Each structure stands twice: as structure tokens, then as C-alpha cells.
């Protein structure tokens, strides 16, 4: 009996030891693999992203050769570890190979769009490449693929390009959320599996509510809640939509313009009654978002804060590309219309027309600048007896030059005369006599080059304008949001307002 017990104990110890050794080996193997992949990924980033414009400008065959050469180091690492992983997890290597294929095939999928952006030449993928990419569609209804970020990225790019054609149809002409409506039309076409269908509807509804707001999404939300089988998805969408709808209560909403069959609103937060007997300064917010996304909902909190301090605070809805299929030209028109409307209706809200401040982050900062600078870009229905220029400008990480930056190539695409973009490019519009402005920019901004901010500041000085330029040392693009720098940004803004008697 004792001998049997000892044998059982020994066997148990042996099994535990082997399992422990296998686990340790697997952990070490994964760690080594990730380390090698990180090195390859870093090399890819250095080789591809700084040269992306030049690479996408190549003819298709040369472009494919470059992409294939960039892909090879990734495949080399996978093959290096293939035998070792065969012992631990037979699915690991095929899954990695599939993900690598999805990542690089997405670059191929994007080729026609970016090639046209950078060269003005419209191209289509060759039949061989398109056939290769079409094979991926069979994975669209495999729920197991949803765990892969590379697969998700490929599907997002695929639907993006498909929706670009979809929104051109007449049925979207009067849609207020064109791109969302196009996505929700396309999803049932490509995703017949319930789990996959639910996932992608949830994905795009959630993204829209977060990045474009809740306006006129009630029908899409109701439809989703009625058909989705995933309780967690339904709960999240219902909660976010309900919260967003609630945020529209407690302040005034005024339509300042009707264009293309839909209205654009100003969200007006009035001060407490103690302040309402005298004219008050106004703080007007333009949200950022690269002119492609953005919602006035992002500025409701700031507006409520200023209203408590005795200001009239306003969040502006303006047209953005991924909601209205517009360009920054339309956004500039809207920004200037909004300021004119506030001046025209100032008496109704006790606004002091000598103390209107415009504030914006990133693309919103660009719009702030164009309210004062883009005098040639106006909505023809505006009342031009009222000025579109605010009395004070606050710009966080703004965009100053739309003519030379490669990231704004999409704006110039399709223009017969590329010089037209200078009409909304602040760097090309500077003159003397502008209102005082505060310019804040991070020295480590990877979205809008810090050098473009220093060039704008230098031009402002040469023009003899009154301004303050404050570099935020080591700060990235989102200086108004990053906790490491947002406090300094708030202090500089407060001091600037106080300097001109607004605090």
C-alpha cells in the first residue's frame, strides 16, 4: 500500500514538473518571438511611414515589390519559430501568417486611394491583385477571425472603400449621417453570420456615437436594438445613446444654417440668472477631428463650465467629411457663418459683441484661424453686414498650412487648381490687423509638425500682429487632453484671457 502511494506521488510530481517545464518553455518561446517581431516591426515603421507618400506614388508593380520586400522579414521570423511552435500550439503559426497577410494586403487594398491622393492619377488594382484580395471575403463570416486586429483592420479598410462608392448613390443625398448609413447598408451584404453582423453593426454605431455624435441616429439605434442578438452590445449602445440624448437637455439649441437639406446647430449654454442682466463675453468652441470627424458634444462640458463662470458658451456643429461627405472648405464656411449668426443674434442672448472668443483644437484651431483669415470663403446666404471675425483667438495644436503638408493631400484631390486651397490655408492668408491670438503647440507633435507652428508664428510677427506663441516642451498633439500638459495649457489660456480683460 505504501509502495503504491509513493509511486502515485512520484508520477504526480513528474507530471506537474513536466507541465511546469512546458509552460516555462512556452512562455520563453513567446517572449523570444515577440522580441524578434518587435525588432522587425520597428524596422518596418522606419522604412515605411516616413516614405509612405513616395511609396504609394509608385506604379503598382514597383509598389507591390516594395510591400513584398517589407513583408519578408515578418515571414522570416514566423518561419524561424515554426518548428518550435508546432510542439506547443499547432494553430499559432498559421494564425500569425494569416495576420501578416491581412496587414500587408490592407496596404495593397489602400493603394488606389493613396496613389490618387499623392499623384492625382486614378488607378485600379490589377486583376491578379484584386483576385488575391477577394479571397479574404470568405473569412468575413468566420467569427473566430474577429479576435485578430489585423483582420479587423483589413475589414475596416475594405468597408471604407466600398462605402466611398456607396455614398455616391442618390439615396444618401439627404442623409445627415451619410457614411454611417452606407456602412449599415453594406454590412448585411457581406456579413450574413449573425455574430459577425452584430459585431460590425455594433462597431460602426459605437464609433459614430463616439466620434460624430448622436444627432439623427435614433432610427439606426432602434433598428440595431431590435435585431442584435448580443445583449452586451445592445446594452452598450443603448447606454451611450441615452447618455448622449440626455446631454442635449439643459441648454439651448439654435439652427444657424440650413444647407444641403439638413440643419447645422449651435449649442448655447447661458450663464446663471445673476449674469443675464448685462452683456456677457462669449466662448465659441470648434471641435477638432481632421475635418473628417467631430461633434459639438465633445465641448458640452467646457461650455457648461464657462456658463457657470458667467459666459455665454457655444459649441458649433459644422460639416465634416465622414458624416456629410464634405471638405474643409465647407467647414470654413460654417465656422464663419456661426460667428456671423452670433453677432446677428447677440441681443437675444446678451452677448457682448466686442468680446467674442473663438477656441479650437487641431482642425478646430484651423477653423478658428479661418474665421479671421479666410475672407474669400463664405456661404452665399450669409448676412455679410455682420463680421465673421471673433475678437480673440485661442488655438491649440492648430493646422496652419494646408498647401504643403502631405497629410492634407486629400483636400487638394480633384481640384483643377491646387492653389485654391491657399484660400483656407492660414499660412498663406496672414495680414496686418488680425485680432489678438494665443498659439499653443507641442514640440513633439507627430500629427501637425511643430515646425509649421514656428513658421506661422514667425509670419505673424512679420505681419505685425498681436499674439503669443507658447511651445509646450515635449508635448504630443493632444495637449488639451493629455494630463501631463493640459494643466499648463489651461493656465496659459486663462492668463491670456485675463490679459485682455476677459476674466
Looking at residue 212, what DSSP letter applies? Answer: T
CB–CB of 337/256 below 8 Å?
yes
Helix, strand and coil content of the chain, in percent to the nearest 5, comes to: 60, 10, 30
Sign of CA dihedral 110, 111, 114, 116: negative
pTM of the model: 0.88
Helix (H) or strand (E) holding 392: strand 392-396
- 159: nearest Cα among 129, 182, 133: 182
Percentage of residues in the chain with pLDDT exceeding 70? 94
pLDDT for 251-278, tens place per residue?
A: 999 999 999 888 999 999 999 876 667 8
Reported confidence tier of residue 14, pLDDT bands at 50, 70, 90: very low
Give me the pLDDT at residue 86, please: 80
Reported confidence tier of residue 26, pLDDT bands at 50, 70, 90: confident
What average pLDDT does this structure show over 451-475?
94
- 389: nearest Cα among 420, 331, 438, 435: 435
Percentage of residues in the chain with pLDDT exceeding 90? 81
Looking at residue 435, what DSSP letter applies? Answer: P
- 36: nearest Cα among 48, 26, 28: 28
Reported confidence tier of residue 405, pLDDT bands at 50, 70, 90: low
pLDDT for 263-322, tens place per residue?
A: 999 999 999 876 667 899 999 999 999 999 999 999 999 999 999 999 999 999 999 999
Q: Which three cell numbers stand for residue 53?
A: 507618400
Give me the pLDDT at residue 205, please: 97
Give me the pLDDT at residue 276, please: 66
Surface-to-core class of residue 314, CB atoms within 10 Å of its CB (0-12 exposed, 13-18 middle, 19+ buried): buried
More reliable by pLDDT, 341 or 11: 341
Q: Which three cell numbers stand for residue 124?
A: 485600379
Distance CA 114, CA 118 (A): 6
**Three-state DSSP string of 277-344:** CCCEEEEEEECCCCCCCCCHHHHHHHHHHHHHCCCEEEEECCCCHHHHCCCHHHHHHHHHHHHHHHHH
Between strands 351-361 and 392-396, the pairing is parallel
Q: Report the 10 Å Cβ neighbour count for 276.
A: 14
Distance CA 468, CA 426 (A): 16
Distance CA 234, CA 221 (A): 9
Q: Average per-residue pLDDT in the chain?
A: 91
pLDDT of 117 above 90 = no
Give me the pLDDT at residue 407, please: 62
Give me the pLDDT at residue 3, please: 55
Give me the pLDDT at residue 406, please: 64
Between helix 218-227 and helix 231-247 the angle, nearest 10°, is: 160
Q: Which three cell numbers stand for residue 426?
A: 492660414
Q: Which three cell numbers stand for residue 85?
A: 511552435
Sign of CA dihedral 433, 439, 445, 447: negative
- 155: nearest Cα among 119, 203, 120: 203
Amino acid at each position: 500500500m505504501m509502495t503504491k502511494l509513493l509511486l502515485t506521488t512520484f508520477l504526480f510530481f513528474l507530471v506537474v514538473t513536466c507541465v511546469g517545464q512546458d509552460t516555462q518553455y512556452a512562455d520563453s518561446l513567446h517572449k523570444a518571438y515577440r522580441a524578434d517581431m518587435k525588432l522587425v516591426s520597428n524596422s518596418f515603421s522606419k522604412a515605411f511611414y516616413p516614405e509612405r507618400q513616395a511609396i504609394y506614388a509608385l506604379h503598382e508593380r514597383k509598389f507591390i515589390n516594395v510591400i513584398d520586400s517589407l513583408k519578408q522579414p515578418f515571414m522570416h521570423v514566423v518561419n524561424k519559430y515554426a518548428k518550435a511552435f508546432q510542439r506547443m500550439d499547432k494553430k499559432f503559426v498559421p494564425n500569425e501568417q494569416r495576420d501578416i497577410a491581412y496587414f500587408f494586403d490592407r496596404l495593397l487594398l489602400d493603394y488606389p486611394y493613396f496613389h490618387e491622393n499623392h499623384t492625382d492619377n486614378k488607378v485600379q488594382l490589377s486583376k491578379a491583385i484584386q483576385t488575391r484580395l477577394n479571397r479574404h471575403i470568405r473569412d468575413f463570416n468566420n467569427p473566430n477571425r474577429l479576435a485578430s486586429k489585423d483582420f479587423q483592420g483589413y475589414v475596416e479598410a475594405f468597408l471604407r472603400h466600398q462605402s466611398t462608392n456607396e455614398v455616391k448613390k442618390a439615396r444618401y443625398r439627404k442623409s445627415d449621417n451619410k457614411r454611417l448609413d452606407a456602412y449599415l447598408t453594406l454590412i448585411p451584404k457581406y456579413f450574413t453570420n449573425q455574430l459577425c453582423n452584430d459585431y460590425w453593426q455594433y462597431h460602426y454605431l459605437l464609433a459614430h456615437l463616439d466620434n460624430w455624435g448622436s444627432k439623427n441616429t435614433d432610427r439606426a439605434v432602434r433598428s440595431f436594438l431590435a435585431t442584435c442578438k448580443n445583449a452586451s452590445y445592445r446594452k452598450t449602445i443603448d447606454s451611450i445613446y441615452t447618455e448622449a440624448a440626455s446631454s442635449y437637455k439643459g441648454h439651448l439649441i439654435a439652427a444657424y444654417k440650413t444647407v444641403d437639406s439638413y440643419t447645422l446647430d449651435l449649442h448655447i449654454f447661458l450663464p446663471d440668472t445673476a449674469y443675464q442682466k448685462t452683456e456677457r463675453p462669449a466662448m465659441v468652441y470648434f471641435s477638432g477631428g481632421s475635418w473628417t470627424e467631430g461633434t459639438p458634444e465633445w465641448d458640452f462640458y467646457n461650455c457648461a463650465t464657462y456658463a457657470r463662470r458667467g459666459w455665454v458658451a457655444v459649441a458649433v456643429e459644422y460639416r465634416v467629411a465622414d458624416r456629410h461627405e464634405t471638405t474643409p472648405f465647407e467647414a470654413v464656411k460654417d465656422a464663419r457663418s456661426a460667428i456671423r449668426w452670433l453677432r446677428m443674434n447677440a441681443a437675444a442672448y446678451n452677448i457682448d459683441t466686442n468680446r467674442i472668443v473663438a477656441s479650437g483644437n487641431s482642425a478646430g484651431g484651423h477653423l478658428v484661424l479661418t474665421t479671421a483669415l479666410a475672407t474669400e470663403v463664405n456661404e452665399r446666404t450669409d448676412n455679410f453686414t455682420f463680421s465673421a471675425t471673433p475678437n480673440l483667438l485661442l488655438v491649440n495644436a492648430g493646422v496652419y498650412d494646408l498647401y504643403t503638408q502631405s497629410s492634407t493631400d486629400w483636400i487638394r484631390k480633384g481640384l483643377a487648381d491646387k492653389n485654391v486651397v491657399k484660400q483656407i490655408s492660414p499660412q498663406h492668408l496672414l495680414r496686418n490687423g488680425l485680432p489678438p491670438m494665443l498659439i499653443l503647440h507641442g514640440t513633439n507633435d507627430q500629427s501637425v509638425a511643430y515646425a509649421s507652428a514656428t513658421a506661422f508664428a514667425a509670419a505673424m510677427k512679420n505681419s505685425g500682429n498681436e499674439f503669443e506663441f507658447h511651445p509646450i516642451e515635449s508635448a504630443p498633439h493632444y495637449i488639451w487632453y493629455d494630463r501631463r500638459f493640459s494643466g499648463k495649457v489651461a493656465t496659459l489660456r486663462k492668463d491670456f484671457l485675463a490679459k485682455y480683460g476677459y476674466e
